[in-house]
């Protein structure tokens, strides 16, 4: 299992290998356009099996019968999520020993009918302070265990500020929520929102979402929203997204 160098030639290869039928988020697009995420292969000179990594997410392509497939799967951390991959890969993951492969549904959302004027009507809940993330905020997020994953696909806080965007929510000067660009590409931005459990159902996530979606739309980019659970789907719908379709993914639990 080897890390593939993202040269121009290799990204052209990856663009064809990770075909459109398995692109349900912007992982592949950000890999090609922005050199975000990583790809591991079975052989650097003549690769036939590919594993794209984006935080806890994995997308597989190519030959699922390669000799390194077991290494691909065994290296996945607990609670990894395998997104739609080429034919045969889901079966390979499910058949791997020492893991539990839980099939579940994620939800693809459409941004086509979002009204940016309606988003501007969504106000911050009383007692919370929301602001656009600057360099100081990004550095703070990178140090907080609950939020540092928001910057995981960027080189550092400065890279995030230069290429990404986001908002934080504070309560009594403590960060309790964030909405950020998880991935960036030429088409748009993959949105990531998290609010600490004790502060949920107070309208914080809705306000964070309204701010970041509005900013992305104003830049004529796609505010891509891939809902991993029902709560995320319902939040997206409150912001004006329409449900597109559900699709299968796998959650991997190490035994």
Domain count, the chain: 2
Give the containing element (helix H, strand E) for 180: strand 174-184
220 is a domain residue: yes
> What CATH number did the domain enclosing 128 receive?
3.40.630.30
Q: Sign of dihedral through CA atoms 243, 249, 254, 255?
A: positive
Domain end among 72, 107, 142: 107
Residues 139, 94 share a domain:
no
Backbone φ and ψ of 252, nearest 5°:
-100, 125
Tokens of 139: 């550095």
Task: Profile the chain (255 residues) by mean pLDDT over runs of 10 residues.
Answer: 92 93 93 95 94 95 90 91 94 91 96 96 96 98 96 96 97 97 97 97 97 97 97 98 96 90
Give the pLDDT score at 241: 98
Can you count the helices (H) and strands (E) in the chain? 9, 13
Give the CA distances from residue 98 to residues 13, 41, 90, 177, 252, in Å, rounded to whole numbers and listed in that order. 33, 22, 16, 35, 10
Residues 138, 42 share a domain:
no
252 is a domain residue: no
- Quote the CA–CA distance of 38 and 28 in Å, as a whole number: 10
Residues 161, 91 share a domain:
no
Residues 220, 130 share a domain:
yes
> What CATH number did the domain enclosing 90 receive?
3.40.630
Give the pLDDT score at 35: 93
Give the pLDDT score at 75: 87
Q: Domain of 149?
A: 112-224
Residues 116, 89 share a domain:
no
Residues 207, 116 share a domain:
yes
- Interior/surface letters 82-104, b for 16+ CB within 10 angstroms, e for the rest: bbbbbeebbebbbebeebebeee
């Amino acid at each position: 299992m080897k890390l593939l160098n993202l040269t121009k030639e290799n990204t052209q290869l990856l663009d064809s290998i990770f075909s459109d039928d398995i692109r349900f988020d912007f992982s592949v697009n950000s890999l090609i356009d922005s050199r975000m995420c990583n790809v591991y292969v079975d052989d650097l000179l003549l690769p036939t099996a590919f594993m794209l990594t984006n935080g806890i997410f994995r997308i597989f392509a190519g030959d699922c019968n390669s000799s390194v497939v077991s290494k691909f799967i065994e290296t996945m951390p607990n609670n990894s999520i395998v997104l739609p991959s080429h034919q045969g890969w889901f079966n390979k993951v499910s058949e791997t020993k020492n893991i539990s492969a839980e099939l579940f549904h994620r939800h693809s959302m459409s941004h086509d009918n979002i009204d940016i004027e309606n988003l501007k009507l969504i106000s911050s809940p009383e007692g919370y302070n929301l602001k656009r993330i600057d360099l100081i905020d990004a550095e703070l997020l990178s140090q907080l265990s609950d939020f540092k994953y928001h910057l995981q696909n960027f080189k550092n806080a400065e890279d995030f500020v230069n290429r990404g965007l986001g908002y934080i929510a504070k309560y009594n000067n403590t960060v309790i929520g964030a909405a950020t660009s998880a991935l960036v590409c030429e088409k748009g931005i993959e949105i990531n929102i998290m609010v600490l459990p004790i502060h949920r159902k107070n309208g914080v996530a809705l306000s964070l979402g309204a701010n970041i979606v509005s900013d992305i739309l104003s830049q004529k980019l796609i505010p891509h929203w891939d809902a991993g659970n029902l709560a995320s789907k319902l939040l997206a719908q409150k912001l004006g997204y329409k449900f597109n379709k559900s699709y299968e993914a796998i959650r991997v639990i190490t035994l």
